[in-house]
Structure 1
Protein backbone atom coordinates (compact mmCIF):
# COMPACT_ATOMS: atom_id res chain seq x y z
CA UNK A 1 0.00 0.00 0.00
CA UNK A 2 1.22 3.49 -0.71
CA UNK A 3 1.97 5.60 2.33
CA UNK A 4 -0.48 8.40 2.98
CA UNK A 5 2.22 11.08 3.22
CA UNK A 6 1.77 12.26 -0.35
CA UNK A 7 4.83 10.58 -1.88
CA UNK A 8 3.85 8.13 -4.59
CA UNK A 9 7.28 6.51 -4.46
CA UNK A 10 7.08 5.73 -0.76
CA UNK A 11 5.54 2.37 0.06
CA UNK A 12 4.67 0.84 3.40
CA UNK A 13 4.12 -2.87 3.92
CA UNK A 14 3.31 -4.98 6.95
CA UNK A 15 5.50 -7.73 5.46
CA UNK A 16 8.57 -6.00 6.92
CA UNK A 17 7.18 -5.90 10.45
CA UNK A 18 9.06 -7.45 13.36
CA UNK A 19 8.64 -11.15 14.12
CA UNK A 20 5.34 -12.00 15.82
CA UNK A 21 6.27 -13.32 19.25
CA UNK A 22 2.86 -14.77 20.15
CA UNK A 23 2.38 -15.14 23.92
CA UNK A 24 5.87 -13.68 24.47
CA UNK A 25 4.91 -10.32 22.94
CA UNK A 26 6.06 -7.56 25.28
CA UNK A 27 7.81 -9.87 27.76
CA UNK A 28 11.38 -9.31 28.94
CA UNK A 29 13.71 -12.08 27.84
CA UNK A 30 14.48 -13.05 31.44
CA UNK A 31 10.74 -13.41 32.15
CA UNK A 32 10.19 -15.44 28.98
CA UNK A 33 13.08 -17.75 29.85
CA UNK A 34 11.80 -18.17 33.42
CA UNK A 35 8.25 -18.96 32.29
CA UNK A 36 8.93 -21.07 29.17
CA UNK A 37 12.48 -22.35 29.65
CA UNK A 38 15.20 -22.39 27.02
CA UNK A 39 12.62 -23.28 24.36
CA UNK A 40 11.13 -19.76 24.54
CA UNK A 41 12.86 -18.83 21.25
CA UNK A 42 10.69 -21.38 19.41
CA UNK A 43 7.45 -19.66 20.43
CA UNK A 44 5.76 -17.31 17.98
CA UNK A 45 6.41 -16.82 14.29
CA UNK A 46 8.93 -19.24 12.85
CA UNK A 47 12.04 -17.95 11.08
CA UNK A 48 10.97 -19.62 7.81
CA UNK A 49 7.70 -17.66 7.83
CA UNK A 50 9.49 -14.38 8.52
CA UNK A 51 12.01 -15.02 5.74
CA UNK A 52 9.25 -15.98 3.27
CA UNK A 53 7.29 -12.76 3.79
CA UNK A 54 10.41 -10.59 3.61
CA UNK A 55 11.64 -12.46 0.53
CA UNK A 56 8.44 -11.64 -1.33
CA UNK A 57 9.03 -7.92 -0.74
CA UNK A 58 12.77 -8.18 -1.48
CA UNK A 59 12.29 -10.00 -4.78
CA UNK A 60 9.55 -7.53 -5.74
CA UNK A 61 11.86 -4.58 -5.06
CA UNK A 62 14.61 -6.10 -7.18
CA UNK A 63 12.14 -6.69 -10.02
CA UNK A 64 10.87 -3.09 -9.71
CA UNK A 65 14.43 -1.75 -9.72
CA UNK A 66 15.22 -3.70 -12.85
CA UNK A 67 12.01 -2.64 -14.61
CA UNK A 68 12.16 1.04 -13.61
CA UNK A 69 15.91 1.56 -13.80
CA UNK A 70 16.32 2.38 -10.12
CA UNK A 71 19.90 2.58 -8.90
CA UNK A 72 19.27 2.92 -5.16
CA UNK A 73 16.59 1.76 -2.74
CA UNK A 74 16.10 2.44 0.94
CA UNK A 75 14.37 -0.20 3.03
CA UNK A 76 13.59 0.43 6.70
CA UNK A 77 12.67 -2.36 9.10
CA UNK A 78 13.47 -3.88 12.49
CA UNK A 79 16.81 -5.34 13.62
CA UNK A 80 15.44 -8.84 14.06
CA UNK A 81 14.06 -8.83 10.52
CA UNK A 82 17.34 -7.50 9.16
CA UNK A 83 19.39 -10.09 11.04
CA UNK A 84 17.25 -13.05 9.99
CA UNK A 85 16.97 -12.00 6.35
CA UNK A 86 20.57 -10.95 5.82
CA UNK A 87 21.78 -14.23 7.27
CA UNK A 88 19.40 -16.01 4.89
CA UNK A 89 20.75 -14.00 1.94
CA UNK A 90 24.30 -14.90 2.93
CA UNK A 91 23.73 -18.56 3.83
CA UNK A 92 20.99 -19.70 1.46
CA UNK A 93 21.10 -17.32 -1.48
CA UNK A 94 24.89 -17.13 -1.39
CA UNK A 95 25.23 -13.34 -1.29
CA UNK A 96 28.86 -12.37 -0.85
CA UNK A 97 30.44 -10.41 1.98
CA UNK A 98 32.72 -7.42 1.64
CA UNK A 99 36.19 -8.44 2.82
CA UNK A 100 35.85 -6.24 5.92
CA UNK A 101 32.87 -8.36 7.05
CA UNK A 102 32.68 -11.93 8.31
CA UNK A 103 29.67 -14.16 9.05
CA UNK A 104 30.13 -13.15 12.72
CA UNK A 105 29.46 -9.54 11.67
CA UNK A 106 25.86 -10.43 10.78
CA UNK A 107 24.41 -10.16 14.29
CA UNK A 108 21.64 -7.94 15.62
CA UNK A 109 22.52 -4.42 14.41
CA UNK A 110 22.37 -1.23 16.45
CA UNK A 111 19.11 0.72 16.07
CA UNK A 112 19.15 3.13 13.10
CA UNK A 113 22.32 1.56 11.71
CA UNK A 114 22.81 1.28 7.95
CA UNK A 115 23.14 -1.89 5.88
CA UNK A 116 24.42 -1.63 2.31
CA UNK A 117 23.98 -4.34 -0.32
CA UNK A 118 25.08 -4.13 -3.94
CA UNK A 119 22.99 -6.23 -6.31
CA UNK A 120 23.73 -7.21 -9.89
CA UNK A 121 20.26 -6.94 -11.40
CA UNK A 122 21.05 -9.24 -14.31
CA UNK A 123 21.51 -12.27 -12.05
CA UNK A 124 19.98 -10.91 -8.80
CA UNK A 125 23.12 -11.81 -6.85
CA UNK A 126 24.35 -9.49 -4.16
CA UNK A 127 27.26 -8.53 -1.99
CA UNK A 128 26.70 -7.31 1.55
CA UNK A 129 29.01 -4.29 1.62
CA UNK A 130 28.31 -2.94 5.10
CA UNK A 131 26.27 -4.11 8.08
CA UNK A 132 25.36 -2.18 11.22
CA UNK A 133 27.16 1.00 10.16
CA UNK A 134 26.62 3.80 12.69
CA UNK A 135 28.95 6.48 11.29
CA UNK A 136 25.98 8.82 10.84
CA UNK A 137 25.47 8.66 14.62
CA UNK A 138 28.98 9.95 15.28
CA UNK A 139 30.67 6.71 16.28
CA UNK A 140 30.80 2.94 16.16
CA UNK A 141 27.96 1.44 18.19
CA UNK A 142 26.99 -2.20 18.63
CA UNK A 143 24.29 -4.13 20.47
CA UNK A 144 26.06 -5.40 23.57
CA UNK A 145 23.43 -7.94 24.63
CA UNK A 146 23.00 -10.31 21.69
CA UNK A 147 20.83 -12.61 23.83
CA UNK A 148 17.70 -11.67 21.94
CA UNK A 149 14.77 -13.63 20.68
Structure 2
Protein backbone atom coordinates (compact mmCIF):
# COMPACT_ATOMS: atom_id res chain seq x y z
CA UNK A 1 0.00 0.00 0.00
CA UNK A 2 2.88 2.37 0.82
CA UNK A 3 4.31 1.83 -2.65
CA UNK A 4 0.98 2.68 -4.28
CA UNK A 5 0.60 5.85 -2.20
CA UNK A 6 4.19 6.83 -3.06
CA UNK A 7 3.46 6.31 -6.76
CA UNK A 8 0.30 8.41 -6.59
CA UNK A 9 2.09 11.21 -4.74
CA UNK A 10 4.96 11.12 -7.26
CA UNK A 11 2.55 11.32 -10.19
CA UNK A 12 0.68 14.16 -8.49
CA UNK A 13 3.98 16.00 -7.96
CA UNK A 14 4.95 15.45 -11.60
CA UNK A 15 1.60 16.72 -12.86
CA UNK A 16 2.00 19.75 -10.61
CA UNK A 17 5.43 20.46 -12.11
CA UNK A 18 3.95 20.25 -15.60
CA UNK A 19 0.99 22.52 -14.77
CA UNK A 20 3.29 25.04 -13.09
CA UNK A 21 5.55 25.20 -16.13
CA UNK A 22 8.61 23.89 -14.27
CA UNK A 23 9.21 21.32 -17.03
CA UNK A 24 9.37 24.03 -19.72
CA UNK A 25 13.01 25.18 -19.99
CA UNK A 26 11.95 28.42 -21.71
CA UNK A 27 9.73 29.37 -18.75
CA UNK A 28 12.47 28.50 -16.26
CA UNK A 29 15.06 30.49 -18.20
CA UNK A 30 12.65 33.46 -18.34
CA UNK A 31 12.36 33.23 -14.54
CA UNK A 32 16.15 33.28 -14.23
CA UNK A 33 16.52 36.22 -16.66
CA UNK A 34 16.08 38.99 -14.09
CA UNK A 35 17.72 41.61 -16.30
CA UNK A 36 15.66 40.80 -19.38
CA UNK A 37 12.07 39.71 -19.90
CA UNK A 38 11.66 38.36 -16.36
CA UNK A 39 8.76 35.99 -15.60
CA UNK A 40 8.26 35.92 -11.80
CA UNK A 41 5.48 33.30 -11.88
CA UNK A 42 7.76 30.45 -10.80
CA UNK A 43 8.51 32.34 -7.58
CA UNK A 44 4.81 31.99 -6.77
CA UNK A 45 5.02 28.26 -7.50
CA UNK A 46 8.01 27.89 -5.19
CA UNK A 47 6.35 29.99 -2.51
CA UNK A 48 3.21 27.87 -2.74
CA UNK A 49 5.26 24.69 -2.45
CA UNK A 50 6.98 26.00 0.67
CA UNK A 51 3.61 27.04 2.08
CA UNK A 52 2.33 23.46 1.72
CA UNK A 53 5.52 21.60 2.66
CA UNK A 54 6.57 23.60 5.73
CA UNK A 55 3.50 22.86 7.89
CA UNK A 56 3.47 19.22 6.76
CA UNK A 57 7.15 18.85 7.64
CA UNK A 58 6.65 20.55 11.01
CA UNK A 59 3.77 18.18 11.80
CA UNK A 60 5.81 15.13 10.78
CA UNK A 61 8.72 16.28 12.97
CA UNK A 62 6.40 16.69 15.98
CA UNK A 63 4.92 13.23 15.40
CA UNK A 64 8.33 11.68 14.69
CA UNK A 65 7.07 10.03 11.50
CA UNK A 66 5.41 10.82 8.20
CA UNK A 67 1.79 9.95 7.46
CA UNK A 68 3.07 6.74 5.89
CA UNK A 69 4.94 5.85 9.07
CA UNK A 70 8.40 6.61 7.72
CA UNK A 71 10.86 8.13 10.20
CA UNK A 72 11.68 11.81 9.88
CA UNK A 73 15.42 12.20 9.43
CA UNK A 74 17.09 14.58 11.86
CA UNK A 75 18.32 17.88 10.52
CA UNK A 76 22.04 18.06 10.00
CA UNK A 77 23.07 21.68 10.19
CA UNK A 78 26.57 21.53 8.85
CA UNK A 79 28.86 24.39 8.10
CA UNK A 80 28.69 26.22 4.82
CA UNK A 81 31.84 24.69 3.38
CA UNK A 82 33.53 24.56 -0.01
CA UNK A 83 31.77 21.37 -1.22
CA UNK A 84 28.39 23.01 -0.52
CA UNK A 85 29.39 26.23 -2.26
CA UNK A 86 30.91 24.48 -5.28
CA UNK A 87 27.89 22.18 -5.58
CA UNK A 88 25.52 25.14 -5.38
CA UNK A 89 27.44 26.97 -8.09
CA UNK A 90 27.46 23.91 -10.35
CA UNK A 91 23.72 23.39 -9.75
CA UNK A 92 22.98 27.04 -10.58
CA UNK A 93 25.09 27.00 -13.73
CA UNK A 94 23.43 23.77 -14.90
CA UNK A 95 19.96 25.14 -14.17
CA UNK A 96 20.75 28.40 -15.96
CA UNK A 97 22.25 26.71 -19.03
CA UNK A 98 19.65 23.99 -19.45
CA UNK A 99 16.48 25.29 -17.81
CA UNK A 100 16.16 21.98 -15.94
CA UNK A 101 16.61 21.00 -12.34
CA UNK A 102 16.44 17.32 -11.27
CA UNK A 103 12.71 16.91 -10.53
CA UNK A 104 11.34 18.47 -13.70
CA UNK A 105 14.07 16.75 -15.73
CA UNK A 106 12.88 13.35 -14.49
CA UNK A 107 9.32 14.27 -15.46
CA UNK A 108 10.69 15.12 -18.92
CA UNK A 109 12.51 11.78 -19.06
CA UNK A 110 9.23 10.02 -18.30
CA UNK A 111 7.62 11.95 -21.16
CA UNK A 112 10.45 10.99 -23.53
CA UNK A 113 11.61 14.61 -23.99
CA UNK A 114 15.12 14.35 -25.51
CA UNK A 115 16.63 17.49 -23.91
CA UNK A 116 15.50 16.21 -20.49
CA UNK A 117 16.99 12.79 -21.22
CA UNK A 118 20.30 14.43 -22.18
CA UNK A 119 20.20 16.49 -18.98
CA UNK A 120 19.45 13.41 -16.86
CA UNK A 121 22.37 11.51 -18.42
CA UNK A 122 24.68 14.46 -17.70
CA UNK A 123 23.28 14.68 -14.16
CA UNK A 124 23.97 11.00 -13.46
CA UNK A 125 27.45 11.38 -14.95
CA UNK A 126 28.08 14.35 -12.65
CA UNK A 127 26.85 12.42 -9.61
CA UNK A 128 29.14 9.50 -10.45
CA UNK A 129 32.08 11.86 -11.08
CA UNK A 130 31.49 13.39 -7.65
CA UNK A 131 31.48 9.96 -5.99
CA UNK A 132 34.66 9.00 -7.83
CA UNK A 133 36.41 12.25 -6.85
CA UNK A 134 35.37 11.94 -3.21
CA UNK A 135 36.52 8.32 -2.98
CA UNK A 136 39.84 9.26 -4.63
CA UNK A 137 40.17 12.14 -2.17
CA UNK A 138 39.47 9.77 0.72
CA UNK A 139 42.14 7.35 -0.51
CA UNK A 140 44.59 10.23 -0.82
CA UNK A 141 43.88 11.38 2.75
CA UNK A 142 44.33 7.81 4.03
CA UNK A 143 47.83 7.67 2.52
CA UNK A 144 48.94 10.82 4.33
Same fold, TM-score > 0.5, yes or no: no
Q: Which protein is richer in strand relative to its size?
A: 1
Greater relative contact order (CA < 8 Å, ≥ 6 in sequence): 2
Higher Cα Rg: structure 1 or 2? 2
Q: Which protein is richer in helix relative to its size?
A: 2
Q: Report the TM-score when normalising by structure 1.
A: 0.34
